[in-house]
Homo-oligomer: A and B are copies of this chain.
């Protein structure tokens, strides 16, 4: 499986960033979570164990992690600002649970053929794409779902 918080610590240092208690806490919170999280919920999670940490620090840490390519964004959940630790570092997409926010990755992206066709058809020079599936995870399909965590 992917990057442990420990490995990431090294990565940060390599890039000239320092490893602080606060960054460690943010990393831990995201890494140990299967759902995507909003900045506010990351802050909440982190502040529970580290009272005194500033929301600003969470935002700044998120910016750095995103910059290093360690975070994925989830759009299909409400506010388009859901963050998630990047599991596979190669090209991948997400299946997101509309109940609990849990995210599963998949790497078999079948869009190459369509992309070529669209490029020919529209004249666009395609650079990127966004693909997410939304549905109910097995747990949330049960009568009394036991969600990983209530997602706003």
Mark A residues whose CB is within 8 Å of B: 75-76, 79-81, 95, 97-98, 104, 106, 108, 110-111, 113-115, 117-119, 121-138, 141
Contacts and interface: CB of A to CB of B under 8 A. Distances in A.
B114 A125 contact: no
Contacts of A75: 75, 80, 130
Task: Identify whether the interface residues of A are mostly helix, strand, loop, or mixed.
Answer: mixed
Contact of A104 (B79, B117, B124): B124
Given A129-B133, A130-B132, A131-B130, A123 B138 contact: yes
A83 B131 CA distance: 18
Contacts of A134: 126-130
A85 B81 CA distance: 24
